[in-house]
Amino acid sequence: MNEPVGSPIVEMPPVNAGPSATADGYRRSLSLLAGFTRWITAPWILVVIASAITVQRLTGTDAFHSLDQAGLEQAGRFAGLVTTASMLDGANHLVFFVTFVGVFIATFKMWPVRAALVLVLGAMSLAFGLTKAITTSYIATSLGARYLAEPTAKESLFAAGKLADGLRAGLQDMDTYPLAAIWVLLALLPSAAGLGRAVRIMGWVLAAALVFDGVLHLAGIDSPFFVVVVLVSPPYFFILGNWLKRISRNGLVMNPTASRTASA
Contact in structure between 184 and 204 (CB atoms under 8 Å): yes
Which amino acid does the sequence have at 99? T
Burial of 203 (0-12, 13-18, 19+ CB in 10 A): buried
Whether residue 216 is contained in a domain is answered as yes
What average pLDDT does the segment 157-163 reach?
A: 92
Is the pTM value of this prediction over 0.75?
yes
Whether the predicted pLDDT of 2 surpasses 70: no
Whether residue 12 is contained in a domain is answered as no
Residue 111 backbone phi and psi in degrees, to 5: -135, 75
Q: How far is CA 52 from CA 124, 135, 149, in A?
A: 24, 18, 26
Shortest CA distance to 136 belongs to which of 183, 79, 70? 79
In sequence order, what are the residues at sequence separation of 6 or more whose Cβ sits closer than 8 angstroms to the Cβ of residue 86? 64, 133, 136, 137, 140
Whether residue 18 is contained in a domain is answered as no
Contact in structure between 87 and 133 (CB atoms under 8 Å): yes
Contact in structure between 251 and 27 (CB atoms under 8 Å): yes
Whether residue 182 is contained in a domain is answered as yes
Whether residue 86 is contained in a domain is answered as yes
Question: pLDDT tens, 173-188?
Answer: 999 999 999 999 999 9
Question: pLDDT tens, 8-58?
Answer: 444 444 444 334 546 788 889 999 999 999 999 999 999 999 999 999 999
Whether the predicted pLDDT of 262 surpasses 80: no
Domain extent at residue 34: 25-253
Whether residue 234 is contained in a domain is answered as yes
- Quickly list H helices, the chain: 19-36, 42-59, 69-77, 79-107, 112-149, 154-187, 197-218, 225-249
Q: In the chain, how many domains are there? A: 1
Whether residue 201 is contained in a domain is answered as yes
pLDDT of the residue at 18: 39
Whether residue 34 is contained in a domain is answered as yes
Question: pLDDT tens, 63-78?
Answer: 999 999 999 999 999 9
